[in-house]
Amino acid sequence: MVTVLSATPIFVNGNPVTVVITDECPGCVSESVHFDLSGTSIGAMAKSGLADLLRHAGILQVQYKKDDCKYPGTTIAFHVDPGSNPNYFATLIEYTNGDGHLASVDLKQALDTDGWQPMQQSWGAVWKLDGAGSTLLPPFSLRLTSLDSRKTIVATAVIRVGWEPGKTYRSVVNFNP
């Protein structure tokens, strides 16, 4: 989560705007940081009546600060990628409290008593596991490790038997904010 503090002064109202960052593109631009903000976010930073001018101003120089993600009373959600099937599983991980960066995500299948399989970060907050030709056996438990704090939590059997691509499954856990 990032709070944009200011941008091109002639157009902005001076009120910070908080946005959730879900993806990065290393090497996309020569600058050290690059945000593609929605028109709504850009408009919220504009002085009254100048939203369209700010939206069409092109590249804006902004000041920002990183904030911890805080979703009070909300548990982590796992949105199963529409391309998932019995041999391939991918999930978008949403509403993660804390630093917002996951160092690793591991999956445990139903009959696996002690084996966690490391998932790969596909893009943004999407993590995937290819069964390499083997059928993956639900329910799945997911173990998440935070990058900055190194804290680990487990969403036990969060993806149940009969799971469906495109559906969202709620855990009962989250990192402490």
Helix (H) / strand (E) element for 52: namely helix 51-55
Judge whether 154 and 174 are in contact, CB under 8 Å: no
pLDDT band at 3 (very low <50, low <70, confident <90, very high): low
Residues 81 and 59 in one domain: no
Classify strands 120-123 and 152-159 as parallel, antiparallel or unpaired. unpaired
Number of domains in the chain: 2
What lies within 8 Å, CB to CB, of 10 at 6+ separation is none
Report the predicted TM-score, pTM, of the whole model to 2 decimal places. 0.79
- In this prediction, residue 24 carries a pLDDT of 66
72 domain residue, yes or no: no
The 10s digit of each residue's pLDDT in 119-172 is 999 988 999 999 777 899 999 999 999 988 899 999 999 999 999 999 999 999
20: in domain:
yes
- Say how far apart CA 162 and CA 164 lie, in whole Å: 6
Residue 176 domain flag: no
Q: Are strands 102-108 and 17-19 parallel, antiparallel or unpaired?
A: unpaired
Tell me the residue range of the domain where 35 lies: 2-66
Which residues have C-beta within 8 Å of that of residue 58, sequence separation ≥ 6?
Answer: none
Q: What's the rounded Cα separation, in Å, for the pair 101 and 146?
A: 6
Query: What pLDDT, on the 0 to 100 scale, is given for residue 37?
Result: 82
Segment 36-59, tens digit of pLDDT? 788 888 888 888 998 888 888 877
Tell me, yes or no, whether 30 and 7 share the same domain.
yes
For residue 61, the tally of other CB atoms under 10 A from its CB is: 9
Q: Are residues 61 and 134 in the same domain?
A: no
pLDDT band at 83 (very low <50, low <70, confident <90, very high): very high
**Stretch 4-27: mean pLDDT:** 70
One domain for residues 43 and 103: no
